[in-house]
Amino acid sequence: MRAASWIWIVAGALIMAPAHAEQGVGDYRGLPADLAAAATAYDIAQMKSDRAGLERYLADDYTLANTDGRNQDKADSIAGSMAPDRKTTYVAISQQVRKVWSDGAVLGGMVDAKGVDHGKPFAMRARFVDVWAKRGGGWQVIFTQIHNAPGQ
């Protein structure tokens, strides 16, 4: 599987709920309301490969630290998520981490994902972290790091 595809599979799950919650949208109870709304909208944009939503919630200076050791910018990351031959069918988050301060947040944990890439089924397990920043009154993801984890 291409590294960019793996990244967007995991990025699609980066801030989702623990495994017992509804698949596809995170559980953001206890977070500031505006961050919870942004994180939910970002989850939906990722799961639906919604270019406009991704453009909105990824900062212009966004960096993705990819599983293959390369960094990707916002444009490359969005292009990878829009690939027509990739579909994520299952995502579950466990060991969720949530740290919030006045103008920033870290949302992360373990992600298990399944789907199809270039006609081939895949299953993966990875550890991730999304760093959010509050800029101009709104929340955006400024950095994502992801690496493969044992267990799959």
Q: Return all residues near 25 (Cβ < 8 A) that are at least 6 apart.
A: 16, 17, 40, 43, 44, 47
Higher-scoring residue by pLDDT: 60, 119: 60
SS3 letters across 77-94: HHHHHCCCCEEEEEEEEE
| CATH number of the CATH domain containing 137 | 3.10.450.50
Instruction: Note the pLDDT tens digit of each residue in 50-109.
Output: 999 999 999 999 999 988 899 999 999 999 888 888 888 887 878 888 999 999 999 988
Instruction: Kindly report the pTM of this predicted structure.
Output: 0.81
Distance (Å, rounded) from C-alpha 81 to C-alpha 46? 8
Confidence at residue 25, expressed as pLDDT on a 0 to 100 scale: 61
Distance CA 82, CA 150 (A): 27
Residue 70: what pLDDT?
A: 93
For residue 91, give its domain range.
Answer: 3-148
Asked if residue 97 lies in contact with residue 31, where contact means CB atoms within 8 angstroms, the answer is no
Total tally of structural domains belonging to the chain: 1
Instruction: Please give the pLDDT value at position 45.
Output: 84
